[in-house]
Amino acid sequence: MGTIVERQRKNGGKAFMAKIVLKQKGEVIHRETQTFDRRPAAAAWIARREDELSKPGAIERAKVAENDPTLAAVIDRYTAESVTEINPSKASTLSIIKTYGIADKRCSHIAASDITEFIKSIPWTPQTRMNYVTHLSTIYSVARPMWGYPLDPIVIREAKTVLRRMGIISSSKDRDRRPTLNELDRLMNHFDERQTRSPWAAPMCRLIAFAIFSTRRQDEICRITWADLDEDNSRILVRDMKNPGQTVGNDVWCDLPAPALRIIQATPRTDERIFPYTAGAIGAAFTEACALLGITTEDMPDSERLHFHDLRHEGTSWLFETGYNIPHAAAVTGHRTWTSLKRYTQLRQRGDKFAGWKWLDAVTVV
């Protein structure tokens, strides 16, 4: 008889792990688990699998499948047994991989050519395809040493080499786009007028200024709570900071430059979050404004377009231009190495670009 174990996810949701254990003369001869988001789905799976396993030869076939499962089954097991919660982007990518034919292949049957053909078939940019290879590599690095599944890490390395040399995958290109003061003034004027017409709209002037001077990403800005603010030491706790190794649970204290702290101090306490808005809405408003003002045009290459994330580049560069050294700048941005911090640094001048900037005073009025 199968059993269902209810588990609490770190994000507050529930997971239902369905377990089937078959014994013969007191010895366990077969064991299966599968995790579902809903209890009825888990119960239905148990009923179906118990019926399948009752048929002649089913246990023997299951043992073969157990030792040499499909790639989809390995992804499911990795997702179910990972102690660290998988970030949404990675979880989404792994789910999409399961919709392709390669996911139905047994581990021992997957060759480097299968991986290259799969990655080639993904209709996105080389940079996005690289994400798929990266997350698939994680599965390969775990499957054999953890569970003894015949997924050979050499196969994924060979495929990655071919894909890179053929230009099918590539690392993200470093951006050096920074907004000019003229562009920022136009954006601030636009959003100031919008705020007058629609007082309930997100205060984009304040959000843009805070993004620059705090160097925070838009999703981080939307997560900060008043409880995360250490006003006496001018710092904030950035929860689940993006990190290649571990994002969920990667909570980091980051220093707040004086202008960023002033912006927070001028922000009304209307919610437990300091900026109670969604990252998607902020990004959409910024992108629409850039298009409306002609800062970004349809025929413009992406390297010349202005994105909300470029404000983080602007703020990081501003830190160095105003005299911050590498450790002090990293204490603000949260970067762990100079290599990663350098990607966000595009120096243009010496001194404070925002000295006397009228919009800083405008967004810090209490």
Average pLDDT over residues 193-217: 95
At 321-334, the pLDDT tens digits run: 998 988 999 999 98
pLDDT for the residue numbered 243: 67
Quickly state the pLDDT bin for 90 (edges 50, 70, 90).
confident
At 6-44, the pLDDT tens digits run: 887 656 678 888 888 888 888 887 777 878 888 998 899
At 286-317, the pLDDT tens digits run: 999 999 999 998 888 888 889 999 999 899 99
pLDDT for the residue numbered 351: 80
pLDDT over 60 (residue 246): no
Average pLDDT over residues 260-278: 95
The whole-angstrom separation of Cα 114 and Cα 20 is: 32
pLDDT for the residue numbered 140: 94
Say if residue 176 is exposed, middle or buried (CB neighbours under 10 Å; 0-12, 13-18, 19+): middle
As a whole number, the mean pLDDT across the chain is: 88
Q: Which residues in 142-158 are b (16+ Cβ under 10 Å) and which e?
A: bbeeebebebbeebbeb
The whole-angstrom separation of Cα 257 and Cα 333 is: 10
Question: Which long-range CB contacts under 8 A does 55-63 form with residues at least 24 apart?
Answer: 59/22, 59/29, 59/30, 62/30, 62/32, 63/30
pLDDT over 90 (residue 354): yes
Query: DSSP secondary structure string, 182-246?
Result: HHHHHHHHHHHHHHHH-TTS--HHHHHHHHHHH---HHHHHH-BGGGEETTTTEEEETT---SS-
